[in-house]
Structure 1
Amino acid sequence: MLRFACVAFLMLACEFALGQDKVSPIVSYDITCTFQLTFYPDSTSTVPKTESFFLFINQEQSLFKSQNRYLQDSAISASVDGADRHNLIAFLQQHRTDFDFNIVKHGCNAIQTTDRVYHDYFSYTETQGHLQWALTPDTATVAGYPAQRATTEFGGRTWEAWFTEAVPVSEGPYKFCGLPGMIIRLTDSKKQYNFVLNGLKQSRREMRNTTPLKVTKTDKRTFFRKRDEYRANPIGVAEQSGVVFTSGRSEVAQRVQQKIKSDNNPIEFFTH
């Protein structure tokens, strides 16, 4: 299992590093928000996991990604000029993430997601009008801000959002946006995914585009189909990508399938 994981990380690092464009444009962001997600990747478990996320915002766009994905991207980008590959792999393993996506929003009707299936990257756009919000009269103080409650249906879940007009930016975590203020708390009706704002800083941050050069543009339905195909036969997909199991193939297959079985509750299901 360890050998399989190391190979996957090595292929990811090589693919990402070789795909970096050293003269890619720098994007400046004016606001950095930090969200903490509490979630249950296994719907049968009573033990939650937590992960931190960044939401970077400027006047033209926003970028949403996990903190560990951000740290991995930064390390891989720095390794292009010849960092020790062994140390890079160790760093990637120390900063694992359950969420490999980059989500860029150019307004709520122009959302592009780049995500990974095994070590292949895909990019797809969200359908315009994917969020239909219902505002409620409910108000509360959330994360120190006066907030109002709204609800919507998305990705096979019913979501409750608390937004604040004290931060007059129509933004939020993941693919959520379109309300008259910042979404500072977002929870699905089963309380399996719960984002809470725990930091907002207005300061200039300059970042290079760290998206791999080799990305397959596709549609959302195809991406989710590719994801399901990998989950159904991860070892076969790995072998098609060049991984060779000299011994212990069945044991590795059993362990990988068990891990996938316990990862049965994604944040989003494809529903149309």
Structure 2
Amino acid sequence: MKKIILSLLLVLGCSIFAQTNRFFYDYKFIPDSTNKEDVKTEMMLLDIDKSGSKYYSRETFVADSTMKADIEKQLKGSPGNISINRKNNQGLVSEKVTKQYPDFKTYLFVRVSTDSYKVEEDQKPIWKILPDKQKIGEYNVQKATTKFGGREWTAWFSTDIPFQDGPYKFYGLPGLIVKIEDKTGSHSMTLIGNKTIQVNADQEMNLPTGMQIMGMGGKDIEASKSQFKKVWKAYINDPTKNMREMMMKNSETNKIVFKSKTSDGREISDPNQVFREIEKRTKENLKKNNNPIELDLYK
């Protein structure tokens, strides 16, 4: 009987935890093409296991996990009144990319207002491998180039690391991509470390039926790239439309309180004021963030 129980625990353990190769990338990018002196930095993670890979921001992951725990705590105490108060240090990169092995089916997960979209990639990087070689950190690397997402890219890959993968949507070289940078120097990702870890399986937040909070608690909306482009254009024209619709939808069963802060630091909770402040801030941010990693996707 003890052997049966032990075997069951081992099976359950394998289903909850998976051995993952985690690679740390230093991502440097210029959000505003008119201000090339303003270079941002974000720590990105590339988690690779036998089923595929996931590329995402460490800072955003921590912030989302904290907010998720706070909302779940509120649901247990008072499920009819949820207060959403986004904290500082949210992370600069909210998008994540997954690839499914062995065919490398690639998806971009991106939030637009209160919705989260799963956008399928319909192109793969076509590489030109060059004879140039050098050493980056502890890795012996070789040069390759490609055109992708409206940009020209130069990559350095290492056959010492047996994964034909890389940061963001890049893959398909005979080794892991150690560094990749676009021709304008606007986006650069460099491998700075790695380790093997045990990762707990993702668990969805259990929200009341019909409730969705900032892309949480609901299914990702699957979209093609052309469909996503239409969604993005609609969002630019009316940044708070989804938030207003969500508040009206949940007004009878759950009271959702949106909070925000004005430019002078005052906290506001009146819905109309919050929406005006969010719309103003969103349009200002869009003007400053005009240099995305995929130019073609946000045309």
The TM-score range, normalised by the shorter chain, is 0.7 to 0.9
1:110 pairs with 2:105: yes
The alignment partner of 2:283 has SS state of: helix
Q: 2:223 is matched with which residue?
A: 218
Seen in structure 2, the aligned counterparts of structure 1 residues 255 and 270 have a Cα distance that, compared at 3 Å, is same
Q: In structure 2, how many angstroms separate the alpha carbons of the residues matched to 1:113 and 1:59?
A: 20
Look up the equivalent residue of 2:168 and give its one-letter code: Y
The Cα of 1:55 is off from its aligned counterpart by: 0.7
Larger radius of gyration: 2
The alignment partner of 1:234 has SS state of: coil
The Cα of 1:80 is off from its aligned counterpart by: 5.6
Q: 1:52 is matched with which residue?
A: 43
- In the superposition, the TM-score normalised over structure 1's length comes to 0.79
The alignment partner of 2:284 has SS state of: helix
The alignment partner of 1:68 has SS state of: helix
Q: 1:266 is matched with which residue?
A: 292
Seen in structure 2, the aligned counterparts of structure 1 residues 155 and 212 have a Cα distance that, compared at 3 Å, is farther
The Cα of 1:236 is off from its aligned counterpart by: 4.5
Q: 1:166 is matched with which residue?
A: 160
Q: 2:115 is matched with which residue?
A: 120
Q: In structure 2, how many angstroms separate the alpha carbons of the residues matched to 1:203 and 1:66?
A: 17
Q: In structure 2, how many angstroms separate the alpha carbons of the residues matched to 1:216 and 1:256?
A: 22
- In the superposition, the TM-score normalised over structure 2's length comes to 0.72
Moved more, 217-226 or 94-103: 94-103
Contact 1:27 1:209 in 2 (8 A): no
Contact 1:143 1:196 in 2 (8 A): no
Contact 2:26 2:189 in 1 (8 A): yes
Seen in structure 2, the aligned counterparts of structure 1 residues 118 and 26 have a Cα distance that, compared at 3 Å, is farther
Seen in structure 2, the aligned counterparts of structure 1 residues 38 and 30 have a Cα distance that, compared at 3 Å, is same
Q: In structure 1, how many angstroms separate the alpha carbons of the residues matched to 2:274 and 2:142?
A: 55
The Cα of 1:220 is off from its aligned counterpart by: 1.7
Q: 2:33 is matched with which residue?
A: 43
Q: 2:55 is matched with which residue?
A: 64
Seen in structure 2, the aligned counterparts of structure 1 residues 249 and 132 have a Cα distance that, compared at 3 Å, is closer
- Percent identical pairs in the alignment equals 27
**Aligned-CA RMSD value:** 2.8
Seen in structure 2, the aligned counterparts of structure 1 residues 161 and 208 have a Cα distance that, compared at 3 Å, is same
The Cα of 1:237 is off from its aligned counterpart by: 4.9
For each residue in 1:71-115, what CA deviation from the matched residue of structure 2 results, as whole angstroms up to 9, or x when unmatched?
Answer: 123324434641699xx966x523312322232111353112221
**RCO comparison, higher one (Cα < 8 Å, 6+):** 1
Contiguous gaps of at least 5 residues in structure 2: 1-14, 205-215, 248-257, 259-269
Seen in structure 2, the aligned counterparts of structure 1 residues 153 and 30 have a Cα distance that, compared at 3 Å, is same
For each residue in 1:108-166, what CA deviation from the matched residue of structure 2 results, as whole angstroms up to 9, or x when unmatched?
Answer: 53112221101101112211x52101100011111320000101111100111110011
Contiguous gaps of at least 5 residues in structure 1: 1-24
